[in-house]
A and B are shown apart, each in its own frame.
Chain A
C-alpha cells in the first residue's frame, strides 16, 4: 500500500512580483515515480527545491510525513561532487552524517560499471561519468526520496538502463523518486506519474 510521504497544498511562489508557481498541489506517495515536466523556465527546478525545503514557498502548505533528516537525496543541475576527490572518495566522504563501508561502495561502483575509474579524480571524468557519481551517491544513501533534476541528461543508453534499474529497486524498497524533465516520459520499466507544469 502506498503511503503519503509529502503533500504540497496550493503552493505559490513569486519572485520580484513575478509568479513562478501558482496554486500547485501535489501528493508524493511511497513506491511511486513522479515526473515533473515542462518547458524551460516553467519552474520545474524551483518546485524540486520547494519539495526538498531549500526554497520556501510564498504561500501554501507543505506536509512532510517523513519529517526526518537524511530523507532526501537531491541531485540538481550541479552534480554535488568534489572535483579534487576520486570517485571512491566522493562516495566515502559524500555524506557528512553517514559512514559507508568499502564493500557497499564497491558494490554500487560495480553496478554503474565504473570500477575502472574508482581511483580517478572526478575532475578527470566526463560530464556523464560525473552525473553517474551523483546518482551513485543517491543509491548508496539511505534517503527515502530521490529528487533528481533531469536524471537522463548526459547519460548513454547503457547508463540510462542502469539508472532505471536503480529506480526500480528503490521504489520496491518503499522509496519514492521525483524527477524533472523537459518532456513526458513513457516506456520505462516502472509506472510514472507525469505531471505537467506551466
Chain B
C-alpha cells in the first residue's frame, strides 16, 4: 500500500466513524429538490422537466460550497496539519489524497443520486446521462478550486461565507458549461465541446490546486 492509498484509507476510516454525517449531502439534495418542485409546481410539466437539470446543477453547486470548509478544518483543529506541513516531502500528493477522499465522501453520493432523482422527475435517459457526466467532471473541479479557498481561510473562525465569496465566481464557467451541455442534449444539439471545456478546466485545476493549496496551508499556519 503506498502513502497515497494509506491517506485515503485513513480518511475513509475516520468518515466511517463519523455517524450519519456522510448522508447529509444527499439529504440536502433531497430537500433542495423538494423545495424547487414545490416553488414551481404551478408551472407546466414540460417546463419543469426543462428546469430539472438546472435545479440539479445549482443544488450540487450549493452542496459543494457548503462542505468545502471541512477539507482541512479537522486536521487544523486537532493539530495534525502541523506535522503534515512540517515533514511532508510530497505534500501535494497528500493534498490530492485529501481532496479525492473529500469529493468521494461528500460529492460522489450526490453525483450518483441526482441523476436518479432526475429520472424519477421525468427527465429523459439521454439528458440524464449527460447530466451525470457533467456532474462527474464538474464536482471534482469545484472541490479542487474550493480546496484552495478552504486552505486560504483555514485560520479564520467564521470562514464559510468568505469561502463562498471566493469560490462562487470561479464556479461560473463550470456552471455555464455544465448546464449548456445538459440543455443542448435536451434539445438534441451537440454537447461535446462543452464537456471538452469542462475537462480542460478540470485538468488545469488538477495541476494547479495541490501546489496552490500547499502554499496556502503554509500561510494559514504561519
Give chain A's interface residues, CB within 8 Å of chain B: 52-56, 69-74, 76-85, 89, 93-97, 99, 121, 143
B94 and A96 contact, CB distance less than 8 A: yes
By size class, the interface of chain B is 20 to 34
Given A89-B13, A97-B3, A70 and B79 touching (CB < 8 A)? no
Given A69-B89, A70-B89, A96-B94, A80 and B83 touching (CB < 8 A)? yes
Inter-chain contacts of A89 with B (CB < 8 A) = 10, 13
Option from A72, A83, A99 in Cβ contact (under 8 Å) with B86: A72
B79 and A97 contact, CB distance less than 8 A: no
- Interface presence of B7 (CB below 8 A): yes
Inter-chain contacts of B84 with A (CB < 8 A) = 96
Inter-chain contacts of B88 with A (CB < 8 A) = 69, 96-97
Give chain B's interface residues, CB within 8 Å of chain A: 1, 3, 6-7, 9-10, 13-14, 17-18, 74, 77-80, 82-90, 94, 218, 221-222
B222 and A54 contact, CB distance less than 8 A: yes
Complex Cα spacing A84 to B78, Å: 11
Given A74-B83, A83-B78, A89-B13, A97 and B89 touching (CB < 8 A)? yes
Option from A73, A81, A93 in Cβ contact (under 8 Å) with B10: A93
A78 and B85 contact, CB distance less than 8 A: no
| CB of B218, distance to nearest CB on chain A (Å) | 8
Inter-chain contacts of B221 with A (CB < 8 A) = 54-55
B222 and A76 contact, CB distance less than 8 A: no
Majority SS at the chain B contact face? helix
Option from A71, A77, A78, A93 in Cβ contact (under 8 Å) with B87: A71
Option from A52, A71, A77, A121 in Cβ contact (under 8 Å) with B17: A121
Complex Cα spacing A94 to B80, Å: 8
Complex Cα spacing A83 to B90, Å: 25
Residue contacts A-B, CB under 8 angstroms, 29 given = A54-B82, A54-B218, A54-B221, A54-B222, A56-B222, A69-B88, A70-B89, A72-B86, A73-B83, A74-B82, A74-B86, A78-B82, A79-B78, A79-B79, A80-B83, A81-B78, A81-B79, A81-B80, A85-B17, A89-B10, A89-B13, A93-B6, A93-B7, A94-B80, A96-B7, A96-B84, A96-B94, A97-B87, A97-B89
A54 and B6 contact, CB distance less than 8 A: no
Chain B residue at minimal CB-CB distance from A71: B87
Given A55-B222, A85-B14, A76 and B82 touching (CB < 8 A)? yes
B86 and A80 contact, CB distance less than 8 A: no
| CB of A130, distance to nearest CB on chain B (Å) | 10
Complex Cα spacing A77 to B78, Å: 9
Listed from nearest, the 3 A-B pairs whose CB atoms lie closest are: A78-B79, A69-B89, A80-B79
Chain B residue at minimal CB-CB distance from A83: B78
A85 and B13 contact, CB distance less than 8 A: yes
B86 and A54 contact, CB distance less than 8 A: yes
Given A71-B87, A96-B3, A96-B88, A78 and B77 touching (CB < 8 A)? yes
Inter-chain contacts of A82 with B (CB < 8 A) = 10, 14, 74, 78, 80
Given A82-B14, A97-B3, A70 and B87 touching (CB < 8 A)? yes
Inter-chain contacts of B218 with A (CB < 8 A) = 54
Chain A residue at minimal CB-CB distance from B17: A84
B1, B6, B9, B84: most-surrounded residue (chain A CB, <10 A)? B6
Chain B residue at minimal CB-CB distance from A141: B87
Complex Cα spacing A71 to B86, Å: 9
Given A54-B221, A121-B17, A80 and B78 touching (CB < 8 A)? yes
